[in-house]
Amino acid sequence: MCRTLALTPAALTQGKEDMTRTLFLLTCLLAACHPAAFSQGSAAKLPEPAALLNQYIQLASVTGSEKEAGVFLSGLCRGKGLHVKVLSSAPDSYNFTASLYPLESRKPNIILLNHLDVVPVAGNSADWLYPPFSGAVADGMVWGRGALDNKGMAIMQLLAVADLVGLAAARDLPYNVTMLSVSSEETGGALGAGLVADRYLGELNPVLVLGEGGSGVSGVLKSAPDRQVFGIEIAQKRGIRVRLSLRVASAGHGSVPPHDYANKAMVAALGRLLDRDPDIKLSDPAKLMFEALGKHESGLRGVAMRHTWLLKLFGGRYLRQEPLIQALVTNTATVTNISNPRLGVNQIPQRVTATLDCRLLPGTTQRSFMRKLRNTLGNKEIELEVLSGFEEGPFTKPEGFFFNALSHAVKRVHPDAVVVPILFPASNDNSHFRAHGVPAYGLLPLYLTEELLRTIHSSNERIPVASLESGISVYGHFLRSILAGKSE
Ligand SMILES: [Zn+2]
């Protein structure tokens, strides 16, 4: 869901830069003076979730600098009577658990997963109505980097688990409940969820991980565009980064182009890759998603979605029309960089590299994908190197006690909503646990308008104060029903 805004300063003249700075300072000043905006000093007057999020956002935990935010959050958990265990602490990362019972109790554990890190503000502070690390509370929202991804969710989880402390003390509950806060999600999770899943799985004893993933959105059902649809992530595509390198010993002067030279050959190969329509593959998680959505669609569309062989046979145009839908039914390769050694405009470089961000559907092996990629590029001289890749774990079936409890909890708070399983087009920390065979679902348990969704990783990220409360309710219903041994 990474989105970045165009960086304008480089293109600005000095005069425009001055104006931008002035406008930014004015914006900051207005934000500080805004009658409805609260800073840290007045946070005590706010509802508790908003007050805590206000403070948490002010700790700018861009990946690699999560520790201060982690120490703050674990301190809040201790203050609420949770059993905190710091799993790892380093200058560039921090991972901890906060549980109803100590991990040593060895109870089967429900893990609520969140990440401490946020993406940087990519030079666009001037586009923010309130400064990105202010946590300003204004217009019924908490504003700032991480409000949606993923600090708001952490505060909801914390308060939902803390609400059960008394119950856990009074009764010997069948499950432990643990909030797990980790580092480095935004860069792949090697120092966070990856490390925790590799080293602490036995100690955690997880029976379910519930992390980020889908959320409530509208506009999904063509037959009922206003109806809220909550997507619970059951699987995700897995990313592999590939570097292509080509060296062609050619003449060097740009005035007489040789028949073959490095850039020409690379561009031609990439052209073959990008010009072809990728094959449509309906993976098992995608089929489950379409079938569930089809139950709420009318007409031919509904019939085709409920019978996915029809969708595959006749739905090519529909499946390729929207980039998001296409990404859910194809293996994708996006060209993210093409580069040469730095030379003059009249010099022909003999080396060229390109990087591809590739996303593989569940069921596609890295080996088969790379074979197909090589064939499609159609140039044996191009070297392919996998820079990073993930193990694939089994997807988590959308059935049984935990899935039903989560669906019912969403419907308790959002009675008219539809709840469906979804395949997630990107990857997040849930994959580290699925790779170890741990069932994992992904849901930010609140409704988001398209406008709010667009703020994730972008400017003016914010979360409605009311949504913090409704998210806590969803977690609360879910946990209480599980602890009571009932899925509804
Ligand atoms: Zn996130």
- Please give the distance, rounded to the nearest whole angstrom, from the Cα atom of residue 1 to the centre of ligand 1: 9
Banded model confidence at residue 484, pLDDT cuts 50, 70, 90? very high
- Place 40 in a pLDDT band, splitting at 50, 70 and 90: very low
Report pLDDT digits (tens) over 153-177: 999 999 999 999 999 999 999 999 9
Residue corresponding to tokens 């989105």: 3
Tell me, what's the pLDDT at 41? Answer: 43
- Cα 428 to ligand 1 centroid, rounded to whole Å: 7
Mean pLDDT of 18-45: 40
Does 4 reside within a domain?
no
Q: 59 and 203 share a domain?
A: yes
Helix (H) or strand (E) holding 363: none
Q: What is the pLDDT of residues 262-292, one digit of tens each?
A: 999 999 999 999 999 889 999 999 999 999 9
How many CB atoms are located within 10 Å of the residue 244 CB? 23
- Average pLDDT score over the chain: 89
Strand 93-99 to strand 83-90: parallel, antiparallel, or no bridges (unpaired)? antiparallel
Note whether 57 and 68 are within 8 A (CB).
no
CA 452–ligand 1 middle distance (angstroms)? 15
Q: How far is the CA of 169 from the centre of ligand 1 (A)?
A: 32
- Ligand 1 centre distance from Cα of residue 417 (Å): 23
What DSSP state is assigned to residue 307?
S
Give residue-wise pLDDT tens across range 387-438: 988 777 899 999 999 999 999 999 999 999 999 999 999 889 999 999 999 9
Number of domains in the chain: 2
Does position 5 have pLDDT exceeding 80, yes or no? Answer: no
pLDDT band (50, 70, 90) for residue 487: low
CB contact set of 466 (below 8 Å; sequence gap of 6+): 140
Q: What percent of the chain has pLDDT over 90?
A: 78
Å from CA of 67 to ligand 1 middle: 17
Alpha carbon of 313 to ligand 1 centroid (Å) = 35
Task: Tell whether 253 is covered by a domain.
Answer: yes
Q: Please give the distance, rounded to the nearest whole angstrom, from the Cα atom of residue 11 to the centre of ligand 1.
A: 31
**How far is CA 266 from each of CA 100, 274, 344, rounded to the nearest angstrom?**
57, 12, 19
Question: 357 alpha carbon to ligand 1 midpoint, in Å?
Answer: 19
**What is the CA(427)–ligand 1 centre distance, in A?**
10
Cα-to-centroid distance, 131 and ligand 1 (Å): 20
| Percentage above 70 pLDDT, the chain | 90
Give the domain CATH number at 328.
3.30.70.360
pLDDT given for residue 83 in this prediction? 98
Name the band, by pLDDT with cuts 50, 70 and 90, for residue 33: very low
Residues 328 and 458 in one domain: no
pLDDT at 249 over 70: yes
Residue-level pLDDT at 88: 95
Q: Do 355 and 206 share a structural domain?
A: no
Kindly give the distance from the C-alpha atom of residue 150 to the centroid of ligand 1, in angstroms, as a whole number: 5
The answer on pLDDT for 38 being more than 70 is no
Kindly state whether residues 312 and 406 are assigned to the same domain: no
What is the CB-side half-sphere exposure of residue 279 using CA atoms within 13 A? 10
Q: What is the pLDDT of residue 7?
A: 25
Per the structure, the complete domain to which residue 422 belongs is given by 9-233+396-483
Q: Residue 371: what pLDDT?
A: 97
> What's the 327 CA to ligand 1 centre distance in angstroms?
19
**pLDDT tens digits for 73-82?**
999 999 999 9
Examine residue 1 and state whether it is found in any structural domain, yes or no.
no
The pLDDT value recorded for residue 280 is 92
> In sequence order, which residues have a C-beta less than 8 Å from that of residue 83 and are 6 or more positions away?
97, 98, 99, 100, 101, 102, 103
Task: Identify whether residues 229 and 295 lie together within a single domain.
Answer: no
Give me ligand 1 centre to Cα 310, in Å. Answer: 35
